[in-house]
A and B are shown apart, each in its own frame.
Chain A
Amino acid sequence: MPTMTYLQAISDAMRQEMRQDERVFVMGEDVGVFGGAFKVTDGFVEEFGPERVMDTPLAESAIIGTAIGAAVEGLRPIAEMQFSDFVSCGFDQLVNVAGKMFYRQGLSVNITVRLPSGGGFSGGPFHSQNPEAWFMHAPGLKVVAPATAEDAKGLLIRAVRDPNPVVFMEHKHLYRRVKGEVPEGRYETDFSARVARAGTDLVVIAYGAMVHTALEATADLDGASVEVLDLRSLVPLDEEAILASVRKCSKVVVVDEANQMCAAGAQVAALIAERAWEDLDGPVVRVATPDVPIPFSPTLEQAVLPQVDDVREAVRELLEY
């Protein structure tokens, strides 16, 4: 099995699907000749030609709107937002048009919108956000957020084939920092959670880059057996997997890199409060980014984003409770 970075796995997923399925094409700002701002589509225009690797104007509304039209006509577009932050310019097309098309007209909108998201590299307030909760709140959209190279590829292939609009949160800080064995060829990963590490004393529930933070924070905690649950998919949310972990461990720390208010972790905490009350042996603890913009200063950014030590401290306190 070849080893790939998270970024290579995303490229591989698109390449494999484009090779096998003529309906699949990519579009976005500088995805063609330049190969994408992060070089995810490096070499694509050479292999698939400019008609399937389309450079677009700086207009996210137009990118998503065009993708919607193409999907309604039967194609399977993959639209790249250069940074997830910029999706706000295409918000109406994504939330109101794509998300409600099937409800209103019975038409499938088979689009995948890739959102390079997340911080940790001094990108500042416009290039570091985690806007997944905006779309979790919009009926008709699916939202997935892989943490590993293998899942990035499998989830993206699944997203391309899903007849619904899928918001694909790819954490750009993981692009070249996470490597792993990735199966060759085409495979799909279900929109479901995954136990990243099994344990019995406490479960840390996370997704995206925070899965790695959680694993590192709980690798050695004086012999405590800490489970890490990687949600992978936020909509649909794998409720049964969450409840199974809570039943087993009875103590829960929920980690979000997103701003705390109404984040994905808030939904997880609410689910646990509603359906796992009698399994709890302590309060549900949340670790998330406070409700502030992501600072540019590296020191301040570290102070704001959940760090390994923050998660470790929260876990330790809850273990002792």
Chain B
Amino acid sequence: MSSSSIEMTEIRMPQMGVSVAEGTLVEWKKQVGDWVEADEVIAAISTDKIDTDVEAPAAGRLQEILVEVGETVEVGAVLARIATDARPGEAHSSEGTSEADVALEAPGEAGELQGDTTEADNEGSAQRGAAQRPGGRRYSPVVIRMAAEHDLDLERIEGTGRGGRVRKQDVLAYLESDANGDAAEPPMHIESPYKPDAPPPPRKREPRFAAPAPAPATGAAPLSRMRQSIGRAMVESLQTAATCTTIVEADLTRVDSARRALGVTYLPVIARATIDTLREFPALNATLDGDTLTTYEGVHLGVAVSLGAEGGLIVPVIRDAQELSVEGLAARIRDLAERARQNALSPDEVGRGSFTITNPGGAGSIIATPVINQPQVAILDTEAVVKRPVVVTDELGNDSIAIRRMTYLCMSWDHRALDGVLAARFLRALADRLEAWPVP
């Protein structure tokens, strides 16, 4: 081909996290032929739990769109291609010659056809390609050949063959009428005013037994995309992991004093204690993929965030959370939760966690069995902190009953990756750390 081949950059479905396998195209903000700048938003996608934008990786002309709105494709799938050697303002290449047209629609094919052939051959193959293409109609070899010989637009020929197929006779008849100078324009109205009677409705067979009356319902509606996504992930987790739950009681009386002093909630303190304990038990700061257990140097802590009244849940991840203080964690959790509810998280802030904390205790529940966030091996559930009379032992060994702020630390873990004694030791170590938390 004499004209240089088109340099293309592919736009792919972004990777949102290890547990995200696919995304749905929600909207194209650019059309084929539009000029796009680098980093300009060209599409909206919904990936697992996140709605986000796709940005152009390079400037150029949007050459083709491969995924339609509503289609769900795997992460990494090519969504569109940008011609990066185009220049703003110049004619879109599909508006050019028919030769270019063919080359664009099937670059490889056209390249072969046009390799070292003469100019005349180029025209012939382009015409032939064009004759086959418009409107998706297909033509027999003889019809294509005749169209090329007589330079006909086959779209304008009415077919009388099966299913409106254009037959050789139709081309001959067209050529004959065309020579007489008429039939150049298709008739404006070809639809017959005659309307046949509607076919009788199919006979419905009465059911042999009357179906029971349906229970009264207040309404039926399809699940939201997020609900469907969460549902799939939860079922998949339960079908994948050997999920067990271990519960340890912890006295948070000191933590309560400490958090009040810092002006934070329980969560950042528990998170900080969890991070420290995970550093002692690296087998829990891990992901399990098939038979491969991966442990991590840093703690990438997922914190489940409820999206409020409309329901839904999202788990933003604090990467290298071990580097943050209690106050730092508090600020980061607040920021992530806020942006999660505004739907403003970036894909990189979701997924690829190594451990997750979920925190529904604010609603008053005291025990729960959470579902592991795959492919992690454990999830810690913090429940309500309640004042309870407990037996406390002083340093001399004397027991007394005291009112303490108690909670249950519930952790679901994957029995494929670890055993119950490790889970119990981890939770006990965490409880000990919390019970001895320094009060400033």
Could you tell me which A residues sit within 8 Å of B by CB distance?
201, 250-251, 277-282, 320-321
Across the interface, do B142 and A278 meet the contact criterion of CB distance under 8 Å?
Answer: yes
**In whole angstroms, what is the CA distance A291 to B39 when docked?**
66
Contacting residue for B165 out of A201, A279, A280, A321, CB 8 A:
A321
The answer, yes or no, to whether B420 is at the interface (CB within 8 Å) is: no
Contacting residue for A279 out of B142, B162, B167, B169, CB 8 A:
B142
Shortest Cβ distance from residue A245 to the other chain B in the assembled complex, whole angstroms: 14
Q: Could you tell me which residues of chain B, from 119 to 150, have a CB within 8 Å of some CB in chain A?
A: 140-145
When A201-B169, A250-B168 are in contact, do A320 and B161 touch as well, CB less than 8 Å?
yes
> Is the contact region of chain B dominated by helix, strand, or loop, or is it mixed?
helix
Across the interface, do B145 and A278 meet the contact criterion of CB distance under 8 Å?
Answer: yes
**In whole angstroms, what is the CA distance A264 to B324 when docked?**
85
Across the interface, do A321 and B142 meet the contact criterion of CB distance under 8 Å?
Answer: no
Could you tell me which B residues sit within 8 Å of A by CB distance?
140-145, 161-162, 165, 167-169
- Kindly list chain A residues whose C-beta atoms are within 8 Å of the C-beta of B140: 250, 280-282
Shortest Cβ distance from residue B22 to the other chain A in the assembled complex, whole angstroms: 41
When A201-B169, A250-B168 are in contact, do A281 and B143 touch as well, CB less than 8 Å?
yes
**In whole angstroms, what is the CA distance A282 to B161 when docked?**
10
**In whole angstroms, what is the CA distance A281 to B143 when docked?**
7
**In whole angstroms, what is the CA distance A282 to B142 when docked?**
9
**In whole angstroms, what is the CA distance A321 to B162 when docked?**
5
Across the interface, do A279 and B141 meet the contact criterion of CB distance under 8 Å?
Answer: yes
Q: List 12 A-B contacts (CB under 8 A).
A: A250-B142, A250-B168, A277-B141, A279-B142, A280-B140, A280-B141, A280-B142, A281-B143, A282-B140, A282-B167, A321-B161, A321-B162
Interface centre among B140, B145, B169, by most chain A C-beta atoms within 10 angstroms, is: B140
Interface centre among A251, A278, A281, A321, by most chain B C-beta atoms within 10 angstroms, is: A281
Shortest Cβ distance from residue A238 to the other chain B in the assembled complex, whole angstroms: 22
**In whole angstroms, what is the CA distance A140 to B433 when docked?**
99
Shortest Cβ distance from residue B226 to the other chain A in the assembled complex, whole angstroms: 51
- Kindly list chain A residues whose C-beta atoms are within 8 Å of the C-beta of B143: 281
Nearest CB to that of B143 among chain A residues?
A281
**In whole angstroms, what is the CA distance A279 to B145 when docked?**
8
When A320-B161, A321-B161, A321-B162 are in contact, do A281 and B167 touch as well, CB less than 8 Å?
yes
**In whole angstroms, what is the CA distance A250 to B167 when docked?**
10
Nearest CB to that of B144 among chain A residues?
A278
Shortest Cβ distance from residue A186 to the other chain B in the assembled complex, whole angstroms: 43
**In whole angstroms, what is the CA distance A320 to B167 when docked?**
9
- Kindly list chain A residues whose C-beta atoms are within 8 Å of the C-beta of B141: 277-281
- Kindly list chain B residues whose C-beta atoms are within 8 Å of the C-beta of A251: 168
- Kindly list chain B residues whose C-beta atoms are within 8 Å of the C-beta of A278: 141-142, 144-145
Nearest CB to that of A251 among chain B residues?
B168
9 nearest A-B residue pairs (beta carbon): A281-B168, A278-B145, A281-B140, A281-B142, A278-B141, A250-B168, A250-B142, A280-B141, A279-B142
Shortest Cβ distance from residue A182 to the other chain B in the assembled complex, whole angstroms: 39
**In whole angstroms, what is the CA distance A278 to B141 when docked?**
5
Nearest CB to that of A283 among chain B residues?
B140
**In whole angstroms, what is the CA distance A278 to B140 when docked?**
8
- Kindly list chain B residues whose C-beta atoms are within 8 Å of the C-beta of A280: 140-142
Nearest CB to that of A280 among chain B residues?
B141
Shortest Cβ distance from residue B440 to the other chain A in the assembled complex, whole angstroms: 88
**In whole angstroms, what is the CA distance A278 to B162 when docked?**
20
**In whole angstroms, what is the CA distance A321 to B168 when docked?**
10
**In whole angstroms, what is the CA distance A279 to B143 when docked?**
8
Nearest CB to that of B165 among chain A residues?
A321
Nearest CB to that of A201 among chain B residues?
B169
Nearest CB to that of A282 among chain B residues?
B140
**In whole angstroms, what is the CA distance A321 to B142 when docked?**
14
Nearest CB to that of B163 among chain A residues?
A321
- Kindly list chain A residues whose C-beta atoms are within 8 Å of the C-beta of B145: 278-279
**In whole angstroms, what is the CA distance A211 to B339 when docked?**
83
Shortest Cβ distance from residue B112 to the other chain A in the assembled complex, whole angstroms: 18
- Kindly list chain B residues whose C-beta atoms are within 8 Å of the C-beta of A320: 161-162
Given contacts A281-B143, A281-B167, A321-B167, list 15 more A-B pairs with CB under 8 A.
Answer: A250-B140, A250-B142, A278-B141, A278-B142, A278-B144, A278-B145, A279-B141, A280-B142, A281-B140, A281-B141, A281-B168, A282-B140, A320-B161, A320-B162, A321-B161
- Kindly list chain B residues whose C-beta atoms are within 8 Å of the C-beta of A277: 141
Shortest Cβ distance from residue A246 to the other chain B in the assembled complex, whole angstroms: 10
**In whole angstroms, what is the CA distance A320 to B165 when docked?**
10
**In whole angstroms, what is the CA distance A279 to B141 when docked?**
6
Shortest Cβ distance from residue A201 to the other chain B in the assembled complex, whole angstroms: 7
**In whole angstroms, what is the CA distance A278 to B168 when docked?**
12
